[in-house]
Structure 1
Amino acid sequence: MGRWTDDGSFLAVVSVIIAFFSCLFVYGFLTRIPWTSRYSNNGTSTLTSTYGASATLTFNGTGVWIYGAMRSNHGPYNVTLDGELYQDNGYYSGDIFQQVLFSAVGLDGSTPHTVSIINSPTDPIQQLLDVDYIVYQMEIPDNEQEVNLQDTASNFLYSTSGWTTSPANLSSYNGTTGQVTCSFVVRYSLVVNAGVLAGSQVELYGVVGPSNGAFMVQLDGGLSTTLNASRTRSSPQTVLYQANGLNPGNHTMRITNAPFSGQSLSLDYAVIGQSR
Structure 2
Amino acid sequence: MPTFNITLENTSPMIRYSKNWKAGTSGDSSADLYSESTFTLCQAQGDSLLFEYYGTAVTVFGAHRSNHGIYQVTLDNGQAFIGNGSGPDAFMQNLYTGNATLGPHTVSITNQQDTFFDVDYITFQTSVGQDGEDLIVNTFQDNHPTFVYTPDSSWSNSTDHLSWLSGSTAHSTSDPSAIATFTFEFLGSHKTGDAIALYGPVGPSGGQFSVTVDNNSPSSYNANQQFFKPREILYYAGNLGNGTHTLRIQISSANLQTLVIDYADVYTTASLGGSFLVDKASSSSSNASPASSSAPDPSIMVSQQSKSSTGLIAGLVVTSALALLATLGCMYLVWRLRRENKNSNPVLPFRPPTTSSAIPYTSFVGSSSIVTQYNVPPSAATGTTGHSYHASHNVPSSSGGASSAVSSTRAVVPSTSGYMPQGKRHVTNLSSGQVTESRRDSEAYPPQYTEGL
- TM-score calculated relative to the size of structure 1: 0.90
Match of residue 85, structure 2, among 75, 90, 108: 90
Structure 1 residues 192-228: Cα deviation after superposition (integer angstroms, max 9, x where no partner): 1275351211011111111111111111021111111
Contact 1:30 1:46 in 2 (8 A): no
Cα displacement (A) at 1:134: 0.6
Cα displacement (A) at 1:117: 1.2
Structure 1 residues 41-65: Cα deviation after superposition (integer angstroms, max 9, x where no partner): x211111101111111111111010
Pairing 1:170–2:158 present: no
Match of residue 173, structure 2, among 181, 202, 205: 181
Partner of 1:14: 4
SS in 2 for 1:37: helix
- Return 5+ residue gaps in structure 1 as ranges: 1-10
Partner of 2:41: 47
Match of residue 38, structure 1, among 30, 33, 43: 33
**Relative to 1, partners in 2 of residues 1:150 and 1:253: Cα closer, same or farther, differing over 3 Å?**
same
Higher strand fraction (1 or 2): 1
Pairing 1:28–2:18 present: yes
Equivalent residue letter for 1:108? T
SS in 1 for 2:44: coil
Contact 1:214 1:260 in 2 (8 A): no
Q: From the CA coordinates, give the structure whose radius of gyration is larger.
A: 2
Cα displacement (A) at 1:144: 3.3
For residues 185-264 of structure 1, the aligned pairs below 5 Å read: 185-193=177-185, 195-264=189-258
Pairing 1:108–2:101 present: yes
Contact 1:144 1:199 in 2 (8 A): no
Equivalent residue letter for 1:146? V
Cα displacement (A) at 1:30: 4.0
Q: Distance in 1 between matches of 2:101 and 2:254?
A: 38
SS in 2 for 1:74: coil
Equivalent residue letter for 1:28? S
Cα displacement (A) at 1:23: 0.5
Q: Distance in 2 between matches of 1:250 and 1:104?
A: 32
Segment of structure 1 superposing worse, 192-201 or 44-53: 192-201
Contact 1:29 1:50 in 2 (8 A): no
Contact 2:176 2:254 in 1 (8 A): no
- TM-score calculated relative to the size of structure 2: 0.55
Q: Flag the structure with more relative contact order, 1 or 2, with Cα contacts below 8 A and sequence separation at least 6.
A: 1
Aligned residues: 258
Equivalent residue letter for 2:179? R
Contact 1:197 1:273 in 2 (8 A): no
Q: Distance in 1 between matches of 2:20 and 2:233?
A: 19
Q: Distance in 2 between matches of 1:96 and 1:30?
A: 24
The CA RMSD measured in Å over matched residues stands at 1.3
SS in 2 for 1:175: helix
Cα displacement (A) at 1:15: 1.0
Equivalent residue letter for 1:182? S
Q: Using the aligned pairs only, state the percent identity.
A: 33
SS in 2 for 1:164: coil
